Structure 1
């Protein structure tokens, strides 16, 4: 019997729930990946809440020490041939990753980085940052979520060392058309309450719709981030949207799926600088929803303009309101865009496609000299 090749995964696992941690959860739970390779896992996430991300604390420092000890144990006792690392590209977590990569290099372990965030290009002109980027990426392979994201790493990574792997998500059995409210069009926002995800941009767009006399319902779902539920309520009151907008807090499992199923339009006007490939857009397409978002990160690879949805200028509430109005007042367009988005999801973004492609990439890197 041929021994399986050993792959160590340094990844993010919930909590908190966000794109990278969900992908990490999918990888760890994959029968295909775990059967294909001899796998070991270390959770890199030190934050347990969304609003703790990016902050330095004693608990995080202790967590970093534990992570280093766990990595040393894996390197000494299990001797992986390849390490998959969900690399953080900026901030304190990047320099934690530098320490981990130093150990991987010391033990001669091949490395492949899965980039779920960006920001390298913004920092590459600073000599201090540039030095460590060169150290990290030298001799490594990189997985990007979309071709457009290559410009973020092109200074440090030759294109031959890059693979493109869009995110994938599990398929859900819900039947959308059976439970939709046909009377009032429901606009859904589902993400953590972070200002740069476009929460206030969307509220301003909804206020414009209300002033124009357009009837709609707005539903906001997600955990509190740099916007609290009280702050959201204050904004809703400020825009006089109390009768149109509701905030439901966090929703998981069947409750989350139900929210997608009763929605008619998905709006995600993000301007988050590190946005790469939001899983929530894939979830919306899976539920046959037309989507409106921005040209941040790899989003233009997901949304086909005027086919599966619309891409609007970042921080432009008027442009967002105009596209929402188009969809609210054109039921056949909503249905057509939703259907084409559903088809695109099943063609490109299922979890099976993701897992198979990731296995191919890992095998290719393992075979390299």
Structure 2
């Protein structure tokens, strides 16, 4: 989303901007360890932020920051250095976790300092409880993510398919519900339903070997396939072959991939987690189930496998909701308005 903001004509026509990438890692595995290269990159990052702050003299500093862990400490250090200059701050959270750390003495002190007199952008009202200890509601703005529109043929799906394709598209992280979905697939297999479940995404705390070990234990090799990461046209082509999108996460904020699935007119099965209920309306454009409940996931998958017309109806409803609420143009306008309000405060 940071790339969309950086390149937004709407935002850049209204404001004079300078962009600094705050990341010090290039992949998931590098994020898990401290290296000399990361320390050097971070030192250079602090210097660049400090010098740009004085030379550019901004009216507002917008930051997309981490909510906890080493990422938060890194962001907090940058903020503490810049706060001495008296700048206005607005933080954009694409993650959550403040509430899980607010009782830790160091985190609590840092949260109090960095949130003081700052505005915050959240993806959903469902996420306000995460920061309510530190930020009054009059300093909170809500803005859903948005993605560029693409043209998709409405009749691209064959609803009379004998074998229904299910897709999980995210990093292979246990909290995203990878093993929950595999357990659900095992239930579908035992019921002798015809389906194929495709997993795509970068390896995370679950490696390809770990994944296939679980697949083999459940005897799902004829039903499940892991494709690795997919980008660009390969990703588009994959989505065009799918009938149902499954994302049974139990630790998430507001997954962008759900909006992508809606864009492709796919019915979605996910959970009551974070801001997901703002994206998926239960029984309208998909189903929401309780977290860590493979039986419930299997039940909804079975229903959609057996009811192709409902897949079509839910997919069309999701596509329309995307066009009305989650386009990139709508996102850019919302962010632009929020930044303008924050500057004028």
Tell me the residue number matched to 1:52: 30
Structure 1 distance, partners of 2:148, 2:312, is 23
Structure 1 distance, partners of 2:7, 2:39, is 28
Q: TM-score, normalised by structure 1?
A: 0.90
Structure 2 distance, partners of 1:308, 1:211, is 27
How does 1:114-193 map onto structure 2 within 5 Å? 114-175=92-153, 177-178=155-156, 180=158, 182-193=161-172
Q: TM-score, normalised by structure 2?
A: 0.97
Q: Does 1:215 align with 2:194?
A: yes
Q: Which moved more, 1:259-268 or 1:48-57?
A: 48-57
How does 1:339-350 map onto structure 2 within 5 Å? 339-350=316-327
CA root-mean-square deviation: 1.3
Give how far 1:240 is off.
1.1
Superposed CA offset, 1:99-143 (max 9, x none)? 211222112211000011111111112232211111010010000
Q: Select 2:228's aligned residue among 243, 249, 253.
A: 249
Secondary structure at the residue paired with 1:40? Answer: coil
Report runs of 4+ in structure 1 exceeding 3 Å deviation.
none
Contact 1:194 1:226 in 2 (8 A): yes
Give how far 1:180 is off.
4.6
Give how far 1:54 is off.
4.5
Q: Does 1:299 align with 2:276?
A: yes
Tell me the residue number matched to 1:105: 83
Secondary structure at the residue paired with 1:282? Answer: helix
Give how far 1:183 is off.
2.8
Any unmatched runs of 5+ in structure 2? none
Contact 1:54 1:91 in 2 (8 A): no
Secondary structure at the residue paired with 2:18? Answer: strand
Superposed CA offset, 1:227-264 (max 9, x none)? 11122122222211111111111111111111111100
Any unmatched runs of 5+ in structure 1? 1-22
Structure 2 distance, partners of 1:293, 1:335, is 17
Q: Select 1:286's aligned residue among 238, 248, 263.
A: 263
Structure 2 distance, partners of 1:173, 1:316, is 35
Give how far 1:60 is off.
2.0
Tell me the residue number matched to 1:43: 21
Give how far 1:176 is off.
5.2
Tell me the residue number matched to 1:320: 297
Tell me the residue number matched to 2:237: 258
Secondary structure at the residue paired with 1:39? Answer: coil
